[in-house]
């Protein structure tokens, strides 16, 4: 599937990957994809995701937050950037954070927010569609603006692979909030295989860092992420925002 194919499959998308249904929308979503060097995954994800969101009657836009080649990958910081940049553009009621390598299999699995934070990707093919222990909010999750603001978004401290999802789970618990999970038999996702990402090495310090979450979370999050936008391009099926993280 090429990007042009996805555009041809979705004739009602506005430039930048914006969609507005012709009846009253179920909600207004910003879908945020933290990204670097996974173009193949992105093409396939867009091919599957647009029809699901449209059949669920959401008004939505897909934002790809593309980290420049500088520095180690930082998924948490990119998700904070996605939230801040999306809210500048539209008044969204729900923010969905989406790994680029998880393809939705079920139109019935709603991409919606609720009174609790929603961890949506409960049934994943590489885990045989079973909810595995230790999984917190990684993969696909949905937050209202109020929920995200309350926990101060994601931590910016976890560079490299791992930790940012467990850190978020600690934030949620520390604020007396809960995570709601749909049944894994309803919310099924195919995980696409990938090799090691040279710019995203395992963060071996993550377990130690998680011990400091409740102390750090008030000053580490959407209120402290440092970045510069290097460029924004409105593609036919998504908005690409390329950023450099740090001062």
Whole-angstrom Cα distance, residue 216 to residue 110? 33
List binders of ligand UD2 among 180-199 (CB under 6 A).
197, 199
| Binds ligand UD2 by CB under 6 A, chosen from 73, 83, 95, 238 | 73
Under the binding rule (CB under 6 A), the answer on residue 135 touching ligand UD2 is yes
Residue given tokens 């879908």 in the structure block: 31
Whole-angstrom Cα distance, residue 230 to residue 224? 19
| Binds ligand UD2 by CB under 6 A, chosen from 17, 63, 92, 165 | 165
Q: What ranges in 37-100 are assigned the alpha helix state H?
A: 39-55, 75-89
* In contact, 34 and 208? CB cutoff 8 Å: no
| Binds ligand UD2 by CB under 6 A, chosen from 82, 139, 184, 221 | 139
For the bound state, the minimum distance from the C-beta of residue 116 to ligand UD2, rounded and expressed in Å, comes to 18
Site string for ligand UD2, 14-33 (x = CB under 6 A): -------------------x
* In contact, 42 and 35? CB cutoff 8 Å: yes
**DSSP codes joined into one string, 155-222:** -S---SBSSHHHHHHHHHHHTT--EE---TTTSEEEEPP----TTS-B-TTHHHHHTTHHHHTTTSST
| Binds ligand UD2 by CB under 6 A, chosen from 200, 237, 240, 242 | 200
Under the binding rule (CB under 6 A), the answer on residue 95 touching ligand UD2 is no
Contact region with ligand UD2 (CB under 6 A), list: 93-101, 144-152, 208-216, 235-243: 93-101
For the bound state, the minimum distance from the C-beta of residue 81 to ligand UD2, rounded and expressed in Å, comes to 13
For the bound state, the minimum distance from the C-beta of residue 164 to ligand UD2, rounded and expressed in Å, comes to 6
Q: What are phi and psi of 8, to 5 degrees?
A: -65, -30
| Binds ligand UD2 by CB under 6 A, chosen from 30, 53, 58, 75 | 75
């Amino acid at each position: 599937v090429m990007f042009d194919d996805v555009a041809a499959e979705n004739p009602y998308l506005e430039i930048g990957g914006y969609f507005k249904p012709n009846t009253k929308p179920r909600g207004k979503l910003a879908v945020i994809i933290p990204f670097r060097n996974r173009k193949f995954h992105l093409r396939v994800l867009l091919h599957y995701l647009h029809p699901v969101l449209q059949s669920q009657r959401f008004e939505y836009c897909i934002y790809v937050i593309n980290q420049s080649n500088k520095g180690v990958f930082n998924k948490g910081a990119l998700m904070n950037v996605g939230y801040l940049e999306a809210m500048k553009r539209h008044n969204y009621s729900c923010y969905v954070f989406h790994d680029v390598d998880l393809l939705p299999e079920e139109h019935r699995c709603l991409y919606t927010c609720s009174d609790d934070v929603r961890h949506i990707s409960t049934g994943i093919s590489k885990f045989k569609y079973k909810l595995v222990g230790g999984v917190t909010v990684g993969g696909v999750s949905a937050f209202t603006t109020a929920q995200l603001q309350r926990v101060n978004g994601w931590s910016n401290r976890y560079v490299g692979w791992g930790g940012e999802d467990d850190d978020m789970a600690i934030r949620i618990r520390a604020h007396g909030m809960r995570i709601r999970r749909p049944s894994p038999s309803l919310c099924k996702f195919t995980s696409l295989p990938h090799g090691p990402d040279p710019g995203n090495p395992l963060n071996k310090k993550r377990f130690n860092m998680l011990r400091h979450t409740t102390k750090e979370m008030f000053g580490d999050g959407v209120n402290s992420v440092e970045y510069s936008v290097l460029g924004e391009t409105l593609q036919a099926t998504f908005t690409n925002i390329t950023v450099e993280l740090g001062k």
